[in-house]
Structure 1
Amino acid sequence: MDVADWIDRRRAPYAADPKATRGRARPEPPSPTRTEFQRDRDRVLHSTAFRRLKHKTQVFVYHEGDHYRTRLTHTLEVSQIARSIARALGLDEDLAETVALAHDIGHPPFGHAGERALDALMAPYGGFDHNAQTLRVLTWLERRYADFDGLNLTYESLEGVLKHNGPITDEAGRPVGRYAGRAAPAAILEGAERLDLPLTGHASGEAQAAAIADDIAYDAHDIDDGLRAGLFEIDDLAEAPLLADILAEVRGRYPDLDEDRAGHEIVRRVITRLVEDAIGEGARRLEALRPRSIADVRAAPGPVIVFTNAMAEAEGGVKSLLRSRMYRHSRVDRVMADAASIVRDLFGRYFEDPGALPAEWEREARRGGETSHARAVADFIAGMTDRYAIVEHRRLFDATPDLL
C-alpha cells in the first residue's frame, strides 16, 4: 500500500483529496513517494521565507530573550495543533499543516507594528497586508526553482492560505470579514485573478483547522510569554473566566506547585480545552451539514470548524486580558513604536534612493512606475528579519532606536 492509499483509508468524504487536486499553476509530474499536499508542505519548510521566521517578532523582539516565541516557533505550534484537529475530524493533515506553516510567511519584521507601519506607507499604492504578502511570496517572490517563480503550490494550499480566516468578498464583490468596510488588498485581488482563486465562499476544512489553531496557539503561548516577561502575574489570569477556572483547578490539585510550573500547567490545559471544544463543535457541525465533498464545505453557510458559542465568549475573554495586560503594556508599546519608526525610516530612504537597495532589488524598484517602485520597496522590507532591519537602519542612519 503506498502512502496515498494509506491516507485515503482515514480521509472523510468532505476532506481535501490530493489525488483530486485542481492542480498547480504550472503542471508537474507526480511524486512517487509523496502526495501533492505533502510536496506543498515540504516546499514551504525548505523555503527561504520560512527560515526567516526564526528572527521575526511575535510579541517580543528577538534579542529580548531566547525563550520567547518568534514567528517560527509560533508557526510550529500552530502546525501541531492544526494537525491534531484535522486528524480528529478526518481531514487531510498534510494540507492543514501546509496552510499552518505558510500562514505567517508574509509578516514583515517587528510583528503587527511593522505591518501597520507598512500598511500606512503603502496606502497610496494599494496598502500592505500580511495575508496578501504571503500570497506574493508563495507565488512570485520565493525564487528557488528553475522552472517557475514562487513555490508552485497546489490550488488547495493557495486557497487555504488566502481564505483560512474566511471569504474575502461576498457574491456582490463587497469585502467581508477582516476587510469589511474597506477595499480588499490590491495584492490579493491581483493574485486571485491571476491564479483563478475565488474570493467568495469558505476555504477547506483543513484551512479552517489551521485558522482556529492559530487562535489557540496565540492565546496559549502569549499567556506563557507574558508570565515569563513579568507583564502580569498568575493571579491576574483570574480576570478571564476561562483562565480563572483553570487556575483554580491547578491550585486545587497542586497547592505547592512553584509559579513557573503552575504557569506551564495552565497553558497546557488552555490548549486542551480549546482544542477539544473546536473538535467537538466541528464534529457537530459536520454531522448537521452532512457534507459529501469539499465543495459542500466551501459552500456551507458558515465555517464548520469553530468554537462553541460559550467557548468563543470565553476565548474572547482571554484575548481581552492579553490585550490589556500585554499587547498594550507600556513596555511593549514603547518597543513597537521604535520598531515602527525603523520601518518608516527604511521605506522612506529606499523609496527616495533606490540605490540604497541591493542591486537586484534596485532593478526591481526601477522597473515600473511609482506603484511598482513602492511595492518593490515593501517586498524587500517585508522579507527582512528584525535583526536585518536593525542592521540596515544602522548602515543608513546615524542613530537607531535601542529596542531593548
Structure 2
Amino acid sequence: MQSITASPMALLIPAFLFVILLIVFVHEMGHYLVGRWSGIRIMTFSFGFGPELAGFIDKHGTRWKLSAIPLGGYVRFYGDADAASTPDFDALAALPESERQKTFLGAKLWKRAATVAAGPIANFILAIVILSGIFMAYGKSVTDPVVSEVRAGSAAETAGIKPGDVLLTIDGSKVETFDDVRRYVSVRPGIAMQIGVRRGGEELTLPITPLLTEITDRFGNKMEMGIIGILTDKSAGNMRIVHLSPMAAVGEAVRETGNIVTGTFDYIANLISGRMKADQLGGPIKVAQTSGQIATLGFVALLHLAAVLSVSIGLLNLMPIPVLDGGHLMFYAVEALRGKPVGEAAQGIAYRIGMALVLSLMIFATWNDITSLIG
C-alpha cells in the first residue's frame, strides 16, 4: 500500500470532509430512498447544518443543499417542524387527508419505522461494502496465534505463558489469528479470563487478567486498553496476506463489522463500570485530526477509517434518545404496543430532553478533543 507524503495537517480538512460527507450521504440516502419508496414527500436533503451555501430543487420538489457546518446532515420530511423530524402538529392538523398521507407522520407505522431505521442500516451496509472491497482488492493480513515474546512483568508472564506457545482459545472461544486475542483483551482490562494454549504436545488452560495500559500510537496519540504483554513476529506468526474470494470477502467484512459493534458495546460497558475513563470519547475535532493522520498512510487506510466511523455513527443513531433515530424507533415501539401514538406533550418534553442529552454529549466530547490537543 503506497503512503501519502503530505503532512497530517495538510490532509486534515480534505480527509475529514471526505469521511464525514461519505458517511452522512449514505446515512441520509438510506432515509431518503426508503421514505420515497414509502410514498413520503421529502422536503430537504442537506449535507451539513446551518446556513445554506448552495442548493437546487429536483423534479420531485426536494431541496438538495450544502450547508455551512459539515458535521452531519439531515432529511426533512413533509410535515416536519425542523431538521430533527419533530412533527409540526398544528400544520398537520390543518392539512386535508389527501395531503396528510404524504407526510411522515401520516404514513403507516411500519413505513415510518423502516424509513428511520434505513439510515443506520445504510451505515452498516457502507462499512461492509468498503471492507469487502478492501479484502478483495488487497487481501487480509493474517498472523497465526503463536507467541514469540513475553514481556517482563506482564500479565502473560504472571499467567505462565511462554514463547512458542500456540494460543488456542480465550474464554472458550476459538482463536484463529493473533489479532483475535488482541481484540478480545483490549476492551477487557481488569477482567479475569481463561486462555488455552498448546505447548509442545500438551494443552493448558491458564488464568490471565489483562492490565489497563496507556499506549502511544505512531502519531503520538495516547489511549488506554487491556494488554497481556505478548508479541509475535513475522517468523513465529507466519505473517501473510490472504486473498479472499468475493463471497469470503463479504463474510469477513460482516465479521469485522460485528467486531466493531461488539467492541463499541464493550467500551461502553467499561465506561459504566469505571474500568476505563471517558476522556477517550472524541468529537469532531478528534475525528478531523485522526482523518488527517490516517490519510498519510494512504487512501485505503482512510477508507478503512470511514468504515469504522460509519458503524460507530450507525450505532450512535440507534441509541434510544429522542431526536436520534433510535429515539424515533422507541416512540414507534410504544405506539405499536399502545395502538396509538405517544401524546404531543410527551413527545415535546422527550425531544427537549433528548436534545439536551445530545448537546451535552457533543460538548463533553469536544472538551475532550480540546484538552487532548493542549495536554
Task: Report TM bin, short chain.
Answer: under 0.3
TM-score by length of 2: 0.25
Q: Report the structure, 1 or 2, having the larger strand content.
A: 2
Structure 1 or 2, whichever has the larger Rg, is 2
The two structures have a TM-score, normalised by structure 1, of: 0.23
